[in-house]
Amino acid sequence: MPDATYKDLKLFVPESLLSRLMDDRDLMLQVLEACLPDLRNNLERFREQLAAGDVKEARRTVHSIKGSAQNSDLRALAALTLEIEDSLKEGDEGFARAKVGELADVIENTIREIQGYFPELG
């Protein structure tokens, strides 16, 4: 059986995040309000850094996306960014470039899913 990939994971696990935040829904909304714009901003920064050939900064940026995803229980996004970060560590810039479209899709799908749970974030 092949290893699981980000496609096998949920985009957002609200129950887990809420539990880690001691069932404080307001705090959960604050965390997500801070996270969502950063995802889009960091995606754009990541694209620009790859286009400029700045692999070191691209790796830092994808690491930031991964951290935000992990902190917010955005499991598929966390797994995909880990794959991309690992590829950049190994010097495989081509893999990272090939995954930019998927990364953008996962970010947008994740944001839509979160907004489905919390329409006030739309």
Q: In Å, how far are 8, 24, 87 from 59, measured between CA atoms?
A: 24, 33, 9
pLDDT (0 to 100) of residue 3: 58
Q: In Å, how far are 10, 20, 67, 73, 96 from 17, measured between CA atoms?
A: 13, 5, 14, 6, 28
3-state DSSP: the chain helix, strand, coil percent, rounded to 5?
Answer: 80, 0, 20
Q: In Å, how far are 19, 49, 84, 98 from 31, measured between CA atoms?
A: 13, 26, 24, 30
- CATH architecture of the domain covering 11-117: Up-down Bundle (1.20)
pLDDT (0 to 100) of residue 5: 87
Mind listing the pLDDT tens digit of every residue in the chain (122 residues)?
345 689 999 999 999 999 999 999 999 999 999 999 999 999 999 999 999 999 999 999 999 999 999 999 999 999 999 999 999 999 999 999 999 999 999 999 999 999 999 998 87
Q: Distance between CA atoms of 73 and 87, rounded to whole angstroms?
A: 22
**pTM tops 0.85, yes or no:** yes
